[in-house]
């Protein structure tokens, strides 16, 4: 395997890992975001303000987008491995 092919494989694996990490974070954020609880006069979310910033379209929830990114990362990693084995 040539040096440029190894470098290309490393870059594709890094992109795959980044997609997987972002996807996992979005999936966790989508699963754990809940409205704040109120305990008597104390709002439990006084120290925590949920983000109103949308990552994607309102039609696609964040947890589903996270799963899509994880799936894309797996496909990219497998494709990189297959092409590396064929060239090597």
Label each residue of 13-38 as H, E or C. HHHHHHHHHHHHHHHHHHHHCCCCCE
Higher pLDDT, 55 or 1: 55
Sequence-distant (≥ 6) Cβ neighbours of residue 71 within 8 angstroms: 23
Sequence-distant (≥ 6) Cβ neighbours of residue 22 within 8 angstroms: 66, 69
Percent over 90 (pLDDT), the chain: 39
Query: What is the spatial distance between Cα 67 and Cα 23, in angstroms, rounded to a whole number?
Result: 6
Binned at pLDDT 50, 70 and 90, residue 73 comes out as very high
């Amino acid at each position: 395997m040539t040096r440029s092919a190894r470098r290309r494989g490393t870059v594709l694996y890094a992109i795959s890992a980044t997609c997987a990490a972002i996807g996992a974070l979005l999936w966790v954020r989508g699963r754990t975001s809940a409205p704040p609880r109120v305990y008597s006069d104390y709002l439990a979310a006084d120290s925590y303000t949920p983000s109103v910033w949308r990552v994607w379209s309102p039609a696609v929830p964040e947890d589903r987008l996270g799963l899509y990114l994880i799936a894309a990362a797996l496909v990219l990693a497998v494709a990189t491995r297959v092409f590396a084995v064929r060239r090597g």
